[in-house]
Structure 1
Amino acid sequence: MSSALIAILVIKLQGRPVSIKFIRRVFFSKKYWVNESTRTDIKYFFINCGVKSLLAMLFVSAQLVITMSVAFALQQNFGSVDPIELPWFLIASIFTLTFFVIEDLSRFLLHWAMHRIPFLWQFHRLHHSAEVLTPLTLHRVHPIEICLYYVRGIFIFGAISGFFIYIFGSKLSALDILGVDALGFLFNMIAANLRHSHIWMSFGRLEKFFISPAQHQIHHSSDIKHHDTNFGTCLALWDRLFGSWIAAGMKPKRLRFGISQPHDSKKQKSYKLTAPKKSCEI
């Protein structure tokens, strides 16, 4: 719902009139929802709901085990330390910001690896085979890729939580840990859910700092010049450091999605990728 409201606001800011007829044509077009690509999105949405439900049961317990293991290992190797005396809100803020940055970096690195390592690309290509981007495309992911992201999340969360418990002790409550991804949630609520859509939303100059939905749509482009670009989720810093950042700029007259030719990676040229039957233009 928040994404739909923001999309309408973006369209208004672009100087385009918003009417009931316009909303129906933009958001409920048969061309957008009734096609083979979106049907595949829906299929994987239900498949992965089951996969995520199974993983969720293991997720919390695994996080707790790693958190306590890291805290115990630090204590065993470096001895006990007097908890750092800081106000509760400052500890919670540092914890949240630290997690946000490291979590975002880990997502970038795994996403980068999914494109650059041929074996991993065979799983990730399912997501990029979408020819029409809808909010459901987020769930068009191979179950193996979901497992990889879950394992990544468990270790990142456990390592950071264990370290903070070691240096701050009981000052870091379970509530702080459970609410740690507040920044990521806020970013997704504001704009990130429009990444998989036909709504062009650029951040302008702010794209040097944050990845916009338009930049992620370019990442999904079948044009070879857009391959291996804009891997980031929230922060643009990692793409800029790796040389994979490009600005969205003006909306292209024609932007096609899907896998139209072998992936633009020298290591992947031996992997023949099936071209889509058709692509969606926005």
Structure 2
Amino acid sequence: MNVYAFIIPIVLLLLIAEIIYCVWSKNGQYPFQDTITNIATGIANQCVNLAVAFFVYKWYGWLAQFIPWEIPNTWYFLLLLLLLQDFLFYWFHRVGHTINIFWAAHMPHHSSEELNLSVGIRASFTQRIFQFLFFDWVLVIVGYTPEAIYAMAAVHLLLAYWHHTTLIKKMGWFERYFVTPSHHRVHHGVNPQYIDKNFSEFLIIWDKLFGSFEKEKEEVCYGVTHPPRTWDPIFINFQYWKQLWDDAVAAPFWWDKFRLWFMPLGWRPRGLESEKKDRIGYTRAEQVKYVSNQFTNLKPYLIFQVGAGLVYLWIVVNLKFPLTAVDRVVMSIGIFMMIISWGGLMQARPWSIYLEMIRLLYMSVTCIVVLHANEMAELTGWEAIVALLTAGGSLLYLIFIVSKPELEPS
């Protein structure tokens, strides 16, 4: 069972509700390009979660066979599991802001210069595998089943999702014990006093106990100290990995090439210049947010494609469908082609028009072929007709309306 398939509808409903409110109130909380980038990253991340689930069930299942007891899934033991997982995640999260390789796995989530519910799904492709690989395996030793651990990780993720908003202000007594949007806004802040604070996701008491708590006072400036300045989800996800790799290649000493990955943030190998600053971070007044010109009439096109992409994603991740692992990989390739082309379109890259054409054809064909191969649709059925009409209409709009020499601001 893929638990993420159950939380996706809840996440989408909350996200759509906040978008509708923000558009209606014209508060500027959802810049188009950043929002599409967040959604694109979230869509691709669901495909990655399939591989993570396979890893968890296989490795944790192998590990569980050596544990001579098994904790039953009663409500009180599940509540204890939530608390244990919250405690482990606090330290995983804190390490993710401390050690280079863990920051590489976490940084993409912080790379948006906004904070809204769409940022909550701007999840790193590698963070979940790091969580299960390095931290949550302890819960198997305690006696919890792999299924319970994976399911609770999804619940924990959902409990942390609603924090990514600026619409909810202070919450009184609730803030003494639980993480609130005010706490999490501080965590996403790049203001000098906010950096590396408020790592908790459910109970704020961990930050108060271990000295990483900070109240929200000054207006929060969101982002990272080295913004990616692109809408390409692939670059966003691997920007810091590339920085580490470049330093490892350039390092004169072999020992430095290895230990670089496990050193604190800011450390650089001997022989390479370190960036010296009077302070780390910046305020909202000092921030210049990234925007780019894009192809004309792109907004309605991408809004429609997001809807179509979510339907395609639903087919890929729904484990009730009798698709093989190869089928899901083949269809996931189309999703990654899609998010790359979206990023290029929003930056008016000429190659993105051609990639978008190819991926429209690829996704429509793979959808029809895979569904037919698994006896879920006929080649001449309504599903095939809808897929072809969607691709055909999109191609016409792309060729005659979007791909013009004139550009427009976001």
> TM range, normalised to the smaller chain?
0.5 to 0.7
Cα distance in structure 2, aligned partners of 1:204 and 1:261: 34
Q: Is residue 117 of structure 1 aligned with residue 111 of structure 2?
A: no
Q: Is residue 48 of structure 1 aligned with residue 45 of structure 2?
A: yes
TM-score (norm 2): 0.47
Q: Is residue 278 of structure 1 aligned with residue 289 of structure 2?
A: yes
Q: Of 152, 168, 178, which residue of structure 2 is paired with 1:181?
A: 152
The alignment covers a number of residue pairs equal to: 234
Residues 97 and 180 of structure 1: CA distance in aligned 2, closer, same or farther (over 3 Å): farther
Q: What code does the residue aligned with 2:138 have? A: I
Q: What code does the residue aligned with 1:25 have? A: W
Q: Secondary structure at the match of 1:268?
A: coil
Residues 130 and 113 of structure 1: CA distance in aligned 2, closer, same or farther (over 3 Å): same
User: How far 1:274 sits from its partner (Å)?
Assistant: 10
Residues 188 and 140 of structure 1: CA distance in aligned 2, closer, same or farther (over 3 Å): closer
Stretch of structure 1 that moved more, 45-54 or 152-161: 152-161
User: How far 1:25 sits from its partner (Å)?
Assistant: 2.5
Cα distance in structure 2, aligned partners of 1:242 and 1:128: 22
Residues 117 and 58 of structure 1: CA distance in aligned 2, closer, same or farther (over 3 Å): closer
Cα distance in structure 1, aligned partners of 2:156 and 2:45: 24
Q: Secondary structure at the match of 1:101?
A: helix
Residue 256 of structure 1 is matched in structure 2 by 221
Residue 61 of structure 2 is matched in structure 1 by 64
Q: What code does the residue aligned with 2:30 have? A: Y
Cα distance in structure 2, aligned partners of 1:95 and 1:150: 20
Residue 32 of structure 1 is matched in structure 2 by 30
Contact preservation (8 Å) 2:82, 2:156: no
Residue 233 of structure 1 is matched in structure 2 by 201
Cα distance in structure 2, aligned partners of 1:64 and 1:108: 24
CA deviation vs aligned residue, 1:156-177 (integer Å, no higher than 9, x gap):
3422325xx9xxxxxxxx99x4
CA deviation vs aligned residue, 1:24-61 (integer Å, no higher than 9, x gap):
434x87761402x3233123222212111122223233
Contact preservation (8 Å) 1:118, 1:268: yes
Q: Of 182, 203, 208, which residue of structure 1 is paired with 2:176?
A: 208
User: How far 1:261 sits from its partner (Å)?
Assistant: 6.5
Contact preservation (8 Å) 2:163, 2:179: no
Larger Rg: 2
Cα distance in structure 2, aligned partners of 1:104 and 1:55: 19
Q: Secondary structure at the match of 2:198?
A: coil
RMSD, aligned α-carbons:
4.3
Q: Is residue 196 of structure 1 aligned with residue 164 of structure 2?
A: yes
Cα distance in structure 1, aligned partners of 2:204 and 2:158: 15
Q: Which runs of 4+ in 1 moved over 6 A?
A: 1-7, 273-276
Q: Is residue 96 of structure 1 aligned with residue 78 of structure 2?
A: yes
Contact preservation (8 Å) 1:63, 1:154: no
Q: What code does the residue aligned with 2:113 have? A: E
Residue 155 of structure 1 is matched in structure 2 by 137
Q: What code does the residue aligned with 1:140 have? A: R
> Greater relative contact order (Cα 8 A, min sep 6): structure 1 or 2?
1
Cα distance in structure 2, aligned partners of 1:277 and 1:185: 36
Stretch of structure 1 that moved more, 224-233 or 59-68: 59-68
Q: Secondary structure at the match of 2:126?
A: helix
Paired-residue identity, %: 20
CA deviation vs aligned residue, 1:65-96 (integer Å, no higher than 9, x gap):
3223222xx7xxxxxxxx99xxx9xx824412
Contact preservation (8 Å) 1:99, 1:180: no
User: How far 1:220 sits from its partner (Å)?
Assistant: 0.4
Cα distance in structure 1, aligned partners of 2:77 and 2:151: 7
CA deviation vs aligned residue, 1:128-160 (integer Å, no higher than 9, x gap):
111112323233233222210232565134223
User: How far 1:229 sits from its partner (Å)?
Assistant: 0.8
Contact preservation (8 Å) 1:195, 1:216: yes
CA deviation vs aligned residue, 1:185-205 (integer Å, no higher than 9, x gap):
38946xx43222232343323
Residues 274 and 6 of structure 1: CA distance in aligned 2, closer, same or farther (over 3 Å): closer
Residues 62 and 122 of structure 1: CA distance in aligned 2, closer, same or farther (over 3 Å): closer
Residues 68 and 201 of structure 1: CA distance in aligned 2, closer, same or farther (over 3 Å): farther
Cα distance in structure 2, aligned partners of 1:68 and 1:134: 42
Q: Secondary structure at the match of 2:178?
A: coil
- Specify every segment of 5 or more residues in structure 2 that has no aligned partner in the other structure, as ranges: 1-8, 228-262, 269-274, 292-410
Cα distance in structure 2, aligned partners of 1:126 and 1:274: 17
TM-score (norm 1): 0.65
